[in-house]
């Protein structure tokens, strides 16, 4: 039997820190660099990018947002 873990969503990343279960990462760059295990490949690929490419990716991640359009205040 596999153990599964539901990680938190990336929506609203720019306001959801500090990150990781113990809050040890305070920036988007730090949370990516905090990945190990199955996620190490993603971290290594991030670290191989140029600093400009890293900055573009981080800006993209921070831009992911959701606006509720239904419900008590949105309908």
- Residue 61 found at the interface with ligand HEM (CB under 6 A): yes
Among 7, 63, 67, 70, binds ligand HEM (CB under 6 A): 7
* Residue among 51 and 70 whose Cβ is closer to ligand HEM: 51
Q: Binding segment for ligand HEM among 33-41, 47-55, 62-70 (CB under 6 A)?
A: 33-41
- Residue 52 found at the interface with ligand HEM (CB under 6 A): no
User: Cis ω on the peptide bond leading into residue 14 (within 30° of 0)?
Assistant: no
């Amino acid at each position: 039997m596999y153990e599964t873990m539901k990680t938190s969503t990336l929506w609203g990343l720019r306001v959801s820190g500090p990150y990781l279960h113990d809050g040890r990462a305070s920036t988007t760059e730090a949370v990516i660099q905090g990945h190990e295990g199955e996620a190490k490949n993603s971290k290594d690929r991030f670290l191989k990018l140029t600093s400009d490419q890293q900055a573009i990716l981080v800006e993209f991640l921070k831009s992911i947002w959701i606006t509720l359009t239904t419900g008590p205040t949105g309908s």
